């Protein structure tokens, strides 16, 4: 199943900057693991915001939830999820 996931990161201004850099590094590692596994198919930055729009390919909404809560920056995120399905007019059979 494909899901569009919009993530906005809101870190409190008084959060320890050293700890935040550690969390960002851990987030990048986790993202790259999921990307290499084919789970996190696409990611785009949202211009002018600490936010992204991503496409996940998972077996269920429960699996997506379980993945999202493993993200190191998850406690600082507002997340919006939209389930997607293939459009009948698409010229691509695999929706990639």
Looking up tokens 């991503």 gives 54
Measured CA to CA in angstroms, residue 2 lies from 11, 30, 54, 72, 86 at distances of 28, 19, 10, 22, 9
- Among 30, 32, 6, smallest CA distance to 84 is for 6
Residue boundaries of the structural domains of the chain: 2-84
* pTM summary value: 0.90
- pLDDT of 95: 65
- pLDDT of 86: 84
- pLDDT of 90: 83
- Tell me the CATH number for domain 2-84: 3.30.70.1060
- pLDDT of 8: 98
Q: What is the pLDDT of residues 32-58, one digit of tens each?
A: 999 999 999 999 999 999 999 999 999
Is 63 or 87 the better-scoring residue by pLDDT? 63
Q: What is the dihedral of CA 25, 40, 82, 87, to 10 degrees?
A: 150
């Amino acid at each position: 199943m494909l899901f569009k996931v919009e993530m906005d990161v809101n870190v409190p201004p008084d959060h320890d900057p050293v700890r935040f850099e550690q969390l960002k590094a851990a987030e990048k590692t986790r993202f790259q693991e999921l990307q290499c596994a084919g789970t996190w198919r696409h990611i785009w930055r949202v211009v002018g915001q600490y936010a992204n729009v991503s496409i996940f390919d998972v077996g269920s909404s429960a699996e997506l939830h379980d993945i999202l809560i493993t993200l190191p920056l998850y406690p600082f995120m507002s997340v919006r999820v939209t389930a997607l399905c293939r459009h009948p007019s698409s010229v691509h059979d695999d929706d990639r």
